[in-house]
Amino acid sequence: MWRWQATEYSPESLALTDVKSPIAGPGQILVRVGAVSLNYRDKVALEGGFGTGHALPVVPCSDAAGTVVAVGAGVHRFRIGDRVISHLAPRWLHGSVRLPEDDGLLGIPLEGVLAEQIVLSAEGAVATPRYMDDREACTLPIAALTAWCAWFERCHLQPGQTVVIQGTGGVALFALQFAEMAGACTIVTSSDNQKLERVSALGARHTINYRLEPRWGLAAKALTEGVGVDHVLNVAGGASVMESLSACRAGGSIVIAGLLEDAEFTLPILPFILQQGTIHTLSVGSRDAFEAMNRALEISEIKPVIGREFLFSEAKAAFDLLERGAFGKIVIRMSS
Ligand SMILES: NC(=O)c1ccc[n+]([C@@H]2O[C@H](COP(=O)([O-])OP(=O)(O)OC[C@H]3O[C@@H](n4cnc5c(N)ncnc54)[C@H](OP(=O)(O)O)[C@@H]3O)[C@@H](O)[C@H]2O)c1
């Protein structure tokens, strides 16, 4: 069977390689992959950003959906023919915090999923929502689960609350869809007016161009008649954390998921104390959270936003687009 693998820590060394088909051992399932989606993490991993001490070659990517074609001894969760999705952290089954014993992420340090067939831990995989095909389902493991856990595990988002969502990336678009599902008022920021038109079409109530309006936090607060928003999903870090605080009401919360602008920030403590705010962080979510999200998806039938699809043979072009950025998830599908 064919898989993409990198023999060095560089996206240029990615090559399609013919290897022996894997075999499902005890507690494992063999999955015929239908589609894989890309995340920012895959680019960082290939560039050696998570360390270069892992065994080479690197098989990239963590997010795949497909069909079970064989089960190992002792597997009761799935049968041949079941449709499944990979889970980034296959050992993290329960709880809202990933503990050291839950470590080990697909793509690095564990073998990734950009292959025709993969072996997954049966405990660390989830059933595909029935209404989704593999192209849609493969977008869920990182982007959707991060947005889900930000709103429902960290912020305990309630109907009628107001949220600010930073940017229009993979996590942000799911955050918009989940916030709409929960009956929240959504404010989305972007550097691009065309993307803001597209998020309005997806249901965003208000939009702000953060390039044209550097004080976007204050602009968001103004949209709430000066009260402030309940929660901010922050993917940029850096100075934008302080601006997120400007958007919040007394007692409001910020979830920091990413560091696209800067890996560090400073915050004056006194205004933060007086505002009585909360800063959350998160690192995707557990398998239980993934299954809770999928139950909600079955009811809401939210359609993931797919920005662009590539064939398996075109994986390098998909990584090039990841570098440039896309509106919606980048998906690699195994068959045409
Ligand atoms: N902690 C976690 O569990 C977790 C999970 C998933 C992802 N992440 C991290 O979250 C971040 C976003 O991931 P993603 O997959 O959604 O990425 P993505 O699809 O590449 O989206 C990035 C988007 O963020 C916006 N953005 C970039 N720089 C910005 C800035 N300085 N200020 C405001 N917005 C900015 C841009 O929106 P516009 O083009 O509209 O301006 C861009 O499209 C990454 O850092 C990723 O590593 C963390």
Least confident of 4-13, 82-91, 205-214, 294-303: 4-13
Residues 104, 120 contacting (CB under 8 angstroms): no
Q: Which residues contact 23 (CB under 8 A, 6 or more apart)?
A: 30, 70, 119
Task: Retrieve residue 74's tokens.
Answer: 């002792």
Start-end of H helices in 31-140: 40-46, 134-137
Q: Which residues contact 84 (CB under 8 A, 6 or more apart)?
A: 29, 31, 65, 66, 67, 68, 78, 120, 125, 126, 127, 128
Residue 170: per-residue pLDDT: 96
- Relative to the CA of 238, which ligand 1 atom is closest? 31
Phi-psi region of 43 (alpha: psi -120 to 50; beta: other; left: phi over 0): alpha
Q: If you average pLDDT over residues 175-192, what whole number do you get? A: 98
pLDDT tier for residue 50 given thresholds of 50, 70 and 90: confident
Q: Could you tell me the distance, in angstroms and rounded to a whole number, from the CA of residue 158 to the centre of ligand 1?
A: 24
Which residue, judged by its Cα, is nearest atom 37 of ligand 1?
Answer: 167
pLDDT tens readout for residues 117-142: 999 999 999 999 999 999 999 999 99
Best mutation site among 108, 148, 171 for ligand 1 pocket (most ligand atoms within 8 Å of CB): 171
User: Residue 335: enclosing H or E segment and its boundaries?
Assistant: none
- Relative to the CA of 149, which ligand 1 atom is closest? 3
Residue 38: per-residue pLDDT: 98
- What are the backbone angles phi and psi of residue 240, rounded to the nearest 5°? -70, -15
DSSP class of residue 246 equals H
Q: Could you tell me the distance, in angstroms and rounded to a whole number, from the CA of residue 314 to the centre of ligand 1?
A: 24
Q: Could you tell me the distance, in angstroms and rounded to a whole number, from the CA of residue 289 to the centre of ligand 1?
A: 21
Global pTM value: 0.97
Name every protein residue with a CB atom under 6 angstroms from any ligand 1 atom. 39-41, 142-143, 146, 166-172, 190-192, 195, 210, 235-236, 240, 257-261, 282-284, 325
Distance CA 47, CA 50 (A): 8
Distance CA 240, CA 145 (A): 23
Distance CA 300, CA 290 (A): 15
Least confident of 76-85, 100-109, 121-130: 100-109
Q: Could you tell me the distance, in angstroms and rounded to a whole number, from the CA of residue 262 to the centre of ligand 1?
A: 12
Residue 54: per-residue pLDDT: 84
